[in-house]
Copies of this chain bind each other. A is one copy, B any other.
Amino acid sequence: MYSFKNDYSEGAHLRILNALIETNLEQDEGYGEDRYSQKAKEFIKDKLGRPDVDIHFISGGTQTNLIAISAFLRPHEAAIAVSSGHILGHETGAIEATGHKILSVEGRDGKLSPTDIQEVLDGHPDEHMVKPKLVYISNSTEIGSIYSKQELQSLHDFCQKNQLILYMDGARLGSALCSEENDLQLSDLPALLDAFYIGGTKNGALLGEALVISTKSLKEDFRYHIKQKGALLAKGRLMGIQFLELFRDDLFFDLAIHANKTAGMLREELKILNIELLTHSPTNQVFPILPNSVITVLQNKFSFHIWEKVDSDTSGIRLVTSWATKEEEVVSFIEELRSLLT
């Protein structure tokens, strides 16, 4: 059974494993103060065009979100997120467990706009309510959509004007930046965001996200927060070596391009089959709406998530591709589907 369930079903890109082997017996400092981590940070700063940002490697997305948000906010301050936002429904209350409320807004296409945020601000005028302070967005979003440069610019401007922190969850940032519809560059991000992370786990690493903090006031003492939340790995080199490999050339982007390409293959074929999609996703997630009977048969050969019920006969499913997706399996999925529909 082949899996389109997510983008973390396999191990890591082989270059990464080889790098681990090559460096294996060299002794180095613990807790992320090793040479590989330092070098990896320099490569990323280079690509960002911003030597002044701070970069921290953290093992996963929920971990990164909870450390960053709890470090950035004072106790009475809250985050704002779109209702499909990962921190709202899929992190077991990790943010609330650090003491902070998340204010949910409907949004559109999985994205937030200044109008959405203004409504939250209007509804929170005084000390009987939390103080909205941080805007959480994802790119690509949980439903595969992406932010345009213009959209991000207006969010940035709005947040600046209202003294809000703009934070981006980049679990699938690679796929977003490599989307054909994308007009953002990695180097645009530090100026548009107070902080964001570059996802490694879902783009070819064994584990690891690179948190980038561009706003000076948010940088202070950040390693204390990582350690306090249990996330300062003794062998931090494990993440340094991986990000070094991903960013010493363009491997990070090459892997995302492959994920997008295979998702694109799926989309094109689905279009030919006249299958409607739940959302407009130009990234590595595809959400076709299929008859339940077809879904049941497909599940014998492929694994994927049933995303939501559409009506009594049909449901939207989620197909995720990755750096490791085999093109022949995409072909074989489409063939199976075609045979079921005709």
Which residues of A are in contact with B by a Cβ distance under 8 Å? 2-3, 5-6, 8-12, 14, 17, 20-21, 23-31, 59-67, 70-71, 74-76, 78, 89-94, 96-101, 104, 123, 127-131, 201-202, 206-207, 221, 223-235, 237-238, 324
Contact = CB atoms under 8 A, between A and B. Distances in A.
Given A27-B9, A28-B9, A71-B75, A227 B128 contact: yes
A307 to B, nearest CB: 13
28 contacts: A3-B27, A9-B27, A9-B30, A17-B17, A17-B24, A31-B128, A60-B230, A62-B227, A62-B232, A66-B229, A66-B230, A67-B230, A70-B75, A74-B74, A91-B227, A91-B228, A92-B128, A92-B224, A94-B227, A96-B96, A98-B99, A127-B223, A127-B227, A127-B232, A201-B233, A202-B234, A206-B235, A229-B230
Q: Is the interface of A mostly helix, strand, loop or mixed?
A: loop
A78 B128 CA distance: 21
B221 A235 contact: no
A6 B97 CA distance: 33
A327 to B, nearest CB: 14
B227 A229 contact: no
Nearest to A7: B234
Contacts of A221: 74, 76, 127, 131
3 tightest Cβ-Cβ pairs between the two chains A and B: A63-B230, A76-B224, A11-B24
Nearest to A100: B96
A31 B235 CA distance: 21
Nearest to A223: B127
